[in-house]
Chain A
Amino acid sequence: MNNKITYAKGILTAHQYLLTKYKDVFVIGQGLWSPWYVGQTMANLDKDFGRDRVIDSPVSENAVTGAAIGASIFGYRPIVVHPRLDFMVLASDQIVNEAAKWTHMFGGQTKAAVTIRGIINRGGEQGAQHSQALHSWYAHIPGLKVVMPATANDARDLLISSVLSDDPVLYIDDRWAYDDEEEETEIVEIDLAAQGPKVKRIGSDITLIGAGYSAFQCLHVADVLKKEGISVEVIDLRVINPIKHAVMIESVKKTGRVLAVDGGWSNCGLASEILAGVVEAINPNQLKSKPQRLTLTDAPAPTSKVLEEIYYTTEEQIISRVKNILKNL
């Protein structure tokens, strides 16, 4: 196959695949009958698969999420869609207190095979309540798997494996990545439990680590810096809870330098977890420079364009940080 696939198309294809092959899959959430909320990621699914399996919902995040989790006990594999993580906060009770806990607190006798799809939708002067990347928050919760694809084929295959997983999975996709393209691969059903960080660019000077859109930025950065003779290794985390550090540790042992890049805030965030996991396992003398992280400023998202411009991490910022690290700054 030599077709290109976009990230958005990857998500759409996964839905089509799942709804066609698995009768126990249904999708529920806000905006499913409108292209406006979820971009092209769900185009025409309601028409192709019927509105009894692709269900647009009232403005009731907590109840709708809970209802999907409830249906999952009785043999269904629902996907719940939240067009923004900010709105999904209202559903946190059912996700965090219910779905994530059952396997443990009922002695392994029941499960919540539900996939909750939360979309990061930032920029455009939307401001503080419409822009949050809260993946680190949820990755803190044992019992809740958190998946963040960075590339188109992963967007497709990780959604499929999330839905087929017997655990509750929070699958977080990012609208900024929707148009990103790559060569389409064959769909393979992969076991989510076996998934984790992947080296997506091999390099020797520094290791860049991130998830979701941040990993996607790092891949671009590696390609740009390659032309300048800087060899960057990029690790795309893919699954951030449970987090597996081994691939990261091996890479940093090799390069001696690490920069964690994350689209969330710094305090108690994913970038901190990346560095902690690496540093704990490495001898200080194996490091050629101080491990660093690049995150959002610890402030809510602004609206005014002049502030928005300095708020979000750009590829240029990653590049200059890499260069500083290489100069041991």
Chain B
Amino acid sequence: MNKNLLSENDITQIFDSNLLHEPIEISNISNKGRLVELMKKMISIRFVENKISDNVADGTVKCPAHLGVGQEAIAVGLAEHLCKDDRVFGTHRGHAPYLAMGGGIYELFAEVLGKEDGCSKGMGGSQHLFFNKNGYYFSVPIVSGTVPIAVGAALAAKMDNKNGVSICFFGDGAMEEGTVQESLNFAKSHNLPVVFVCENNFFASHMHILERQPNQSVARFAEAHSIKNLIVDGNDVVKVSNISKMAIEQARRTNEPFFIEAVTYRWKGHVGHRDDMDVGVMRSKDLGIWKERDPIARLETALIENNIITNVEKESLYNEIGDLINYEWERAKKATFPQLDVLEKLVYFSNKSMR
């Protein structure tokens, strides 16, 4: 591979699912409290998604829900470095970035249930999330749809001159859309402060990347557009955080785009709650190996081995987060549905005053 292609790990290790099962390296991090925060965030995201998953299974949640269980470390590691002027764009698999940026659990639950208190006022469901308190976030399910949008958001940030940065999450499948290539070229040739984050989980619905592309790594596309890039173990929250810090700081300082390929694996099917069956494709064997690279377990074990938390503390943390999530779920179930007249009133922004 090209020598400009940096990597925190040996790239071959990252792509070998039999490796990197051990606890992550945390000895060089002085602020251990920060690591506990990262752990809490990841656990919380996983519990939220498992809650949604259970309710997809029993039919309570009807909207298509694309769960990112197993991929939590990427959004969580990156969100550490975001500021209020930053803008983040997600995909159909958008719960984790939303929650990592501080999006409310209650508002997410209400949204997937189609309730008025939802983060998109019950108008979007799981696939269309909106949040603009700590920075700006939205996600949509048209594959690649937000990639040029993020580039435009970076253009606006550059014009504002306030050091805002734009972040774009997308999948390995999105790399196959022409608009992504166009966006990379435009971002580089105009030097726009955008960090492209490709969550390479090897699949686009039922198709493995090697059935769709000649190479299982996507960083080559950034290389082709002369965009600095790194491949990272997406299931190591510390490594993701380190690389994100560098990428985001560079974009802030120099307006240079950056491309991160975060290698990961999703534990659930493409859409919905099942984890043994992926839109007709059985992945049971690989899935078992990838579960050994669990981003949460790898951090937890490291924290316990380094005597930063005890097993007892971990248990009580789990209970605390579990209770909170149950509480928010019950609350969301009781929330009201949107008024029927919003169907027509919310079509044009200039009409909103009619409300």
Taking the closest CB of chain B, its distance from the CB of A298, in whole angstroms, is 7
Residues B125-147 near A (CB distance < 8 A): 125, 127-128, 140-145
B90 within 8 A of A: no
CA separation between A307 and B124, bound complex, in Å? 11
Q: Which of B45-53, B295-303, B341-349 contacts A (4 or more CB under 8 A)?
A: B341-349
B94 within 8 A of A: no
Q: Is the CB of A300 within 8 A of B347?
A: yes
B213 within 8 A of A: yes
Q: Report if A311-B122 is in contact (Cβ < 8 Å); known contacts: A34-B281, A58-B213, A125-B63.
A: no
Q: Report if A305-B343 is in contact (Cβ < 8 Å); known contacts: A58-B176, A129-B142.
A: no
Residues of B within 8 A of A35 (CB): 280
A302 within 8 A of B: yes
Residues of B within 8 A of A305 (CB): 62, 114, 337
Taking the closest CB of chain A, its distance from the CB of B306, in whole angstroms, is 42
Residues of B within 8 A of A306 (CB): 114, 337-338, 340
Residues of B within 8 A of A302 (CB): 123, 338, 343
* B277 (CB) vs chain A CBs: closest residue: A36
Q: Which of A36, A60, A62 contacts B280 (CB 8 A)?
A: A36
Q: Which of B140, B206, B338, B342 contacts A36 (CB 8 A)?
A: B206
Taking the closest CB of chain A, its distance from the CB of B349, in whole angstroms, is 13
B273 within 8 A of A: no
CA separation between A298 and B64, bound complex, in Å? 23
| Chain B contact surface mostly | loop
Taking the closest CB of chain A, its distance from the CB of B344, in whole angstroms, is 6
Q: Report if A310-B62 is in contact (Cβ < 8 Å); known contacts: A36-B279, A299-B347.
A: no
B 177-205 binary contact with A (CB < 8 Å = 1; else 0):
11100000000000000000000000011
* B346 (CB) vs chain A CBs: closest residue: A299
Q: Is the CB of A126 within 8 A of B178?
A: no
Residues A84-102 near B (CB distance < 8 A): 86-87, 90
A63 within 8 A of B: yes
Taking the closest CB of chain B, its distance from the CB of A88, in whole angstroms, is 11
Residues A285-324 near B (CB distance < 8 A): 297-300, 302-307, 310-311
A124 within 8 A of B: yes
Q: Report if A304-B204 is in contact (Cβ < 8 Å); known contacts: A34-B280, A127-B124, A299-B347.
A: no
Q: Is the CB of B142 within 8 A of A87?
A: yes
B173 within 8 A of A: yes
Residues of B within 8 A of A67 (CB): none
Residues of A within 8 A of B337 (CB): 304-306
Taking the closest CB of chain B, its distance from the CB of A193, in whole angstroms, is 34
CA separation between A31 and B207, bound complex, in Å? 8
Taking the closest CB of chain B, its distance from the CB of A185, in whole angstroms, is 32
B158 within 8 A of A: no
A188 within 8 A of B: no
B167 within 8 A of A: no
Residues of B within 8 A of A300 (CB): 347
A225 within 8 A of B: no
* B281 (CB) vs chain A CBs: closest residue: A34
Residues of A within 8 A of B141 (CB): 129-130
Taking the closest CB of chain A, its distance from the CB of B121, in whole angstroms, is 9
Residues of B within 8 A of A30 (CB): 205
Q: Is the CB of A34 within 8 A of B205?
A: yes
Q: Is the CB of A304 within 8 A of B338?
A: yes
Residues of B within 8 A of A310 (CB): 340, 343
Taking the closest CB of chain A, its distance from the CB of B145, in whole angstroms, is 8
Residues A104-160 near B (CB distance < 8 A): 124-130
Q: Which of B122, B178, B340 contacts A303 (CB 8 A)?
A: B122
Residues of A within 8 A of B144 (CB): 59
CA separation between A33 and B325, bound complex, in Å? 38
CA separation between A310 and B281, bound complex, in Å? 36
Taking the closest CB of chain A, its distance from the CB of B215, in whole angstroms, is 13
Taking the closest CB of chain A, its distance from the CB of B176, in whole angstroms, is 4
Q: Is the CB of A59 within 8 A of B63?
A: no
B 107-125 binary contact with A (CB < 8 Å = 1; else 0):
0000000110000001111
B 242-271 binary contact with A (CB < 8 Å = 1; else 0):
000000000000000000000000000010
* A84 (CB) vs chain B CBs: closest residue: B142
Taking the closest CB of chain A, its distance from the CB of B290, in whole angstroms, is 21
Residues of B within 8 A of A304 (CB): 114-115, 122-123, 125, 337-338
Residues of A within 8 A of B177 (CB): 59-61, 90
A37 within 8 A of B: yes
Q: Is the CB of A33 within 8 A of B207?
A: yes
Taking the closest CB of chain A, its distance from the CB of B106, in whole angstroms, is 16
B155 within 8 A of A: no
A56 within 8 A of B: yes
CA separation between A60 and B342, bound complex, in Å? 35
**What are 23 A-to-B residue pairs whose CB atoms are below 8 Å?**
A31-B206, A33-B207, A59-B144, A59-B173, A59-B177, A87-B143, A124-B63, A124-B64, A127-B127, A129-B128, A129-B141, A130-B64, A130-B141, A297-B343, A299-B343, A299-B346, A302-B123, A303-B63, A303-B124, A304-B125, A307-B342, A307-B343, A310-B340
* Minimum-distance CB pairs A-B, first 7: A304-B114, A303-B125, A125-B63, A58-B176, A36-B279, A34-B206, A58-B212
Q: A: which residues have CB within 8 A of B?
A: 30-31, 33-37, 56-63, 86-87, 90, 124-130, 297-300, 302-307, 310-311
